[in-house]
Structure 1
Amino acid sequence: MDNSVSLKINQEFSLNLSHALKEYLFNKFDNKPLYSEESSIEFWDNYSKNNTSGNVFDLLKKCYPQLNFPIETGIDKSELYKEFVFKGKIDLASLPSCLELTNSKSIKFENIICSAGRIPVLTISNEKDFVKIIQSLLHKNNPVEIPQSMGAVLINGINNWERIKILKSQWLAKNPFGNWNQEFSNVILNKPLYKDRLIILSTKPYSNVSAKQLGLDEDIWISNSVSIRLEHELTHLYTLKRYGHASNNLHDELIADYIGIVKTIGYYDKWWMQNFMGLEEYPKYRRGARLENYVQENRLSQEDFKQLIKIVKNAIETIAIFDEKIGKLASSKDESCRIEALCETGLTILVSQKGGDILLDNYYEKFNKF
């Protein structure tokens, strides 16, 4: 049985897609509005107003008890870890050790307003501290290797035990003789009451691409890197709320990088994008670049990966033409229409001979109906 399909793409060559590659390229964005309110904003607003210590990490350790534990293999299997992190025990003084950061006082907090709503953003300037916090919050304090090319993350749904503590206090004030443990079984069904979304940013060069590689001044490139990184994650937040989907798939990443670049420098620089993906010497691929971060969990053969390189390169070309035709970003409506048009134009369509036309049609259809 033949599990491949021939696809004509730009530059007049064809690709034979394996079943695994077709599955990877399947467009997971569907047109179902899923906007939801984010109930954690009040908590973080109050923190912004009342914070006087200036040390964000002190609050973070109360919200996320895992930040009180060191990075050690298998630590999440210990009873102590389970008591604190999974059950929310708050007697932090009893912990034998803690997560030691190089410069915890440099962590910055901000409530960001964007087209998808509002979200708390943490900026961590020390690279080692960034790695430790990612290992703690995403990998249960296990020393999982974090790629050099990874510099930010959107966390969607992490228990905030300070919010639970506030809920408990408010409920007991109204129900002094009530059974909180019984009530808590109802609370856990309503995840927005206690689960946070937040963005964590580093300040290192974007995609581990140096300023020299792009011919830029170091300070300018670091500033641009932080901007691209933030707008990239805010784009993931938009697609998460709009479509209920945000993942480490290349389709998502191409869209998020497109918005990040455009909102940072005013236009889409395809040379930057090729560097970000390790394709600056296309068809040669630079090992260790971001492209491979998004296929690690997929069973793609070496041939599939070669095909994916072609697809990504041609998608970048199509997006560059699209950006040139519609011009500078003019408004939040324009931004939303660009994101949604790119989401609803799958990669296999985007790189087809009519891909650019279809993307433009999708954009103008969105714009006229918005």
Structure 2
Amino acid sequence: MNAANIQEQLRAYGPTEEVLRELQEYLLPPFGTGSQAFNSTLPEDMELVRTWQGYLAEAQVAGTFTTLQRHIVQFRFPIRAGISQTDAYRRATLGGKSPEAFAEASGLPLARPDGLQLFLYSSPAGRLPVLVAPERADFVSLVQALCYRNEPHPIPASMGAVFIKGLNNWDRIRQLSQGLHSFSSVDLAAQREQYQDSLILLSEIPYSNVPARDMGLSEADWLRQSRQIRLAHEGAHYFTWRHFGRMHANMYDELIADYAGIRAVEAHFRADWFLRFIGLENHPALQKEGRLRNYLGQPPLSKAARHCLQRILIDAARQLETFDRQLVFSGETDLALRLWAICQHHLLDISAPDGCQHLLHTYRYPKALPYEN
């Protein structure tokens, strides 16, 4: 979709010229290029899985948190304002120095370190490790440690999981360096898959902080489904990152990921669930803690632009539901094909009155080529 097509479809939502420019900057191009083909062979696990299999075996003996503190340097430091700028933290996380030498490395305090759970999750892009924190405060600390360099960054109440990519693992770097005659930053840059980790951090709160009563489920059933939705949601982010090399904090990505998440617990994608999860069940009002508020860009969209975006998302969700209800699920490869097909389309293509037909055509007529890592 070119700029002229984007403008034409945006004008159907009646924005002013200023709002139109805002939305043009916010709306992302599709992940696919139109020339990419779908491969029915699911990708092999990335190298990181072998390392984390070792951590899992070690955790069976030493415990999950003790094992991870031994290998993930951020877990050796507390959450404290300004700690990321200290010499000790920088030398440990950026230079690979042992935390043992630094008094600041007093450990990441958790309320229930013995409650952490570690396992491997099979996503449409291969397996990846999952770390679950049953205590909300512990989840927040883990996110702050790995995503915000141990700084006390505020975490929205609606955030219950996060996909972490490109995390330098000094345990793996040291193993890599032992196999090289000479070792430099050039070597590292060329071999990122050999030392950078991807993983999912997961909490045990209701999905998008939506209460069980709003879903018509018992607390236990809704928590169980929330875990399944989150895993599939984050697995979809892993899919876009691994297949297309990109993921964004944007509602385009969230629609794709919630498609996978909702399908993990329901026979078909449900637009009403998606709209509730992002806070639009009473559109045009946006719920105070609606997840959409976390994805309005920086600086955030104006109120007028947000209202247009809300209408686009409502239309896109309904077209996506119509698309999904015309298909019969046939396993992981089929899910990967659906995600791939959605990723070939701009959000405005999906929200268009014939968005369902665009998606069905791409799904039914993929050009098969071998998968390349």
TM-score, normalized by the shorter chain, greater than 0.5: yes
> Tell me, what secondary structure is at the counterpart of 1:87?
coil
TM-score by length of 2: 0.88
Q: Which amino acid aligns with 1:361?
A: H
Mapping of 1:183-202 within 5 angstroms? 183-189=183-189, 190-202=191-203
* Equivalent residue number for residue 360 of structure 1: 360
Closer, same or farther: CA 334–184 of 1 in aligned 2, 3 Å: same
On the 8 A contact 1:36/1:241 being kept in 2, the answer is: no
On the 8 A contact 2:37/2:366 being kept in 1, the answer is: no
Kindly indicate whether residue 220 of structure 2 is the aligned counterpart of residue 211 of structure 1. no
> Tell me, what secondary structure is at the counterpart of 2:198?
strand
Q: Which amino acid aligns with 2:14?
A: L
On the 8 A contact 1:29/1:343 being kept in 2, the answer is: yes
* Equivalent residue number for residue 115 of structure 1: 124
> Tell me, what secondary structure is at the counterpart of 2:152?
coil
Mapping of 1:20-35 within 5 angstroms? 20-31=22-33, 32=36
> Tell me, what secondary structure is at the counterpart of 1:122?
strand
On the 8 A contact 1:6/1:14 being kept in 2, the answer is: no
Mapping of 1:167-182 within 5 angstroms? 167-171=176-180, 182=182
Deviation at 1:101, TM superposition (A): 0.4
On the 8 A contact 1:337/1:367 being kept in 2, the answer is: no
Kindly indicate whether residue 85 of structure 2 is the aligned counterpart of residue 83 of structure 1. no
Deviation at 1:165, TM superposition (A): 2.7
For 1:143 and 1:59, how far apart are their aligned partners in 2? 24
* Equivalent residue number for residue 348 of structure 1: 348
For 2:227 and 2:220, how far apart are their aligned partners in 1? 11
TM-score by length of 1: 0.89
For 2:28 and 2:147, how far apart are their aligned partners in 1? 26
Superposed CA RMSD in Å reads 2.4
Q: Which amino acid aligns with 1:43?
A: T
> Tell me, what secondary structure is at the counterpart of 2:200?
strand
> Gaps (5+ residues) in structure 2?
none
Query: How many residues align structurally?
Result: 355
* Equivalent residue number for residue 5 of structure 1: 7
**Higher mean C-alpha displacement, 86-95 vs 191-200:** 86-95
User: Of residues 27, 41, 61 in structure 1, which corresponds to 2:69?
Assistant: 61
> Tell me, what secondary structure is at the counterpart of 1:366?
coil
For 2:14 and 2:326, how far apart are their aligned partners in 1? 27
> Tell me, what secondary structure is at the counterpart of 1:53?
helix
> Tell me, what secondary structure is at the counterpart of 2:326?
helix
Deviation at 1:201, TM superposition (A): 0.8
Mapping of 1:122-137 within 5 angstroms? 122-137=131-146
For 2:247 and 2:355, how far apart are their aligned partners in 1? 22
Deviation at 1:163, TM superposition (A): 1.4
On the 8 A contact 1:33/1:242 being kept in 2, the answer is: no
* Equivalent residue number for residue 165 of structure 2: 156
Alpha-carbon displacement from aligned partner over 1:70-103 (angstroms, at most 9, x marks no partner): 1111111111111211112224264343221000
> Gaps (5+ residues) in structure 1?
172-177
Q: Which amino acid aligns with 1:144?
A: H
* Equivalent residue number for residue 174 of structure 1: none
On the 8 A contact 1:110/1:122 being kept in 2, the answer is: yes
User: Of residues 43, 48, 54 in structure 1, which corresponds to 2:51?
Assistant: 43
Kindly indicate whether residue 340 of structure 2 is the aligned counterpart of residue 337 of structure 1. no
Alpha-carbon displacement from aligned partner over 1:115-160 (angstroms, at most 9, x marks no partner): 2112111111110000011011111111111001111111111111
Q: Which amino acid aligns with 1:15?
A: G
Alpha-carbon displacement from aligned partner over 1:161-188 (angstroms, at most 9, x marks no partner): 11123234455xxxxxx6xxx5143432
On the 8 A contact 1:24/1:298 being kept in 2, the answer is: no
Query: More relative contact order in 1 or in 2 (CA 8 Å, sep 6+)?
Result: 2
Identical amino acids, percent of aligned pairs = 32
